Amino acid sequence: MFEWWIYLVVCLGALFAGFIDAVVGGGGLIQVPMLLILFPGFSHVQVIATNRFASVSGTAVAAYQYIKLVGIDVTMAVVTGIAAATASFSGTFVMEMISPEVFKPLLLFVIIILAVYTFIKKDLGTVHELKYSGKKFLVVCAAIGAVMGFYNGFIGPGTGSLLVFAFVSIAGMNFLKASSASKVINAVADTFSLIGFLMHGAVVFKLALPMMACNMLGGYIGSRMAVLRGNIFIRYVFLVVITLLILRLGRDVIINWK
């Protein structure tokens, strides 16, 4: 067993991560570094597995709240979720053949451009005007899910936030609808990946279980807050999370250069 303050820190971190993840994605940017710092003896797989176990339940709670309060295109979510889950699974195998470090500098540049674009374009994501309809809309969303799912399996951090941006900028959703759709898709994709972690016995349950409870509470609060405060609030949170992602990837790139 760990000391009481360890549980307190991880539970508070999981609560905050669940809140952020429910609003705009990116909860893993909080939980994963926290686990790496507090438990340097854990393997990378244990950290990711424990984070995933805690976050899946929080994502599911947030997804349910969004479905109940905002509504969602179920067909789109299912098609995109399957594409994301399949691509995420494939991405893990590519990661074994090609180092993600090769692509991180380019990815960092792209994400900085996205952040600047979102900051400058004040009206981005404030109006829900879909750019496609019918089968074409499903194909576009499936393509977004496949690309983001592959990224999730290949590199990982910030997948939910990038998924929200893709729905807003490519599909024409507002931030609230995009967050709603991304939560359902994340829940589907993460559940499939969690099955693999459970089969390998990588989850540290004495941490994952209390973290799960706090992540669920954070997911509930975050989703309710997002619906209550609307698109402008989500946009601001998105900019904060995307900044964290830039710092995280920037750190990885600098370490790789040394």
Q: For residue range 167-213, list pLDDT tens digits in order.
A: 999 999 999 899 888 888 888 777 777 777 788 788 899 999 999 99
Which of 228, 226, 243, 123 is CA-nearest to residue 181?
226
**Whose CA is closest to 9, among 205, 222, 211?**
211
pLDDT of residue 15: 95
Q: What is the pLDDT of residues 28-65, one digit of tens each?
A: 888 888 888 889 888 877 888 898 899 888 989 998 99
Structural domain including 62 reads 4-257
> If pLDDT is split at 50, 70 and 90, which confidence band does 252 have?
confident
Number of domains in the chain: 1
Q: What is the pLDDT of residues 139-155, one digit of tens each?
A: 999 999 998 888 876 66
Mean pLDDT of the chain: 85
* Best mean pLDDT range from 13-17, 77-81, 179-183: 13-17
Q: Is the pLDDT of residue 115 over 90?
A: no
Residue 210: phi and psi, rounded to 5, are -65, -35
Q: Which of 80-84, 102-106, 216-220 has the highest mean pLDDT?
A: 216-220
Is the distance from CB of 174 to CB of 125 less than 8 angstroms?
A: yes
What's the pTM value of the predicted model, to 2 decimals? Answer: 0.81
**CB neighbours of 28 closer than 8 A, spacing ≥ 6?**
17, 21, 51, 55, 156, 157, 158, 159
**C-alpha triplet 196, 200, 203: angle, nearest 5°:** 90
Alpha carbon dihedral 63, 68, 74, 77, in 10-degree steps, equals -20
Q: Where are the alpha helices (DSSP H) in the chain?
A: 4-24, 28-38, 44-69, 74-97, 104-120, 134-154, 159-166, 175-199, 205-229, 231-257
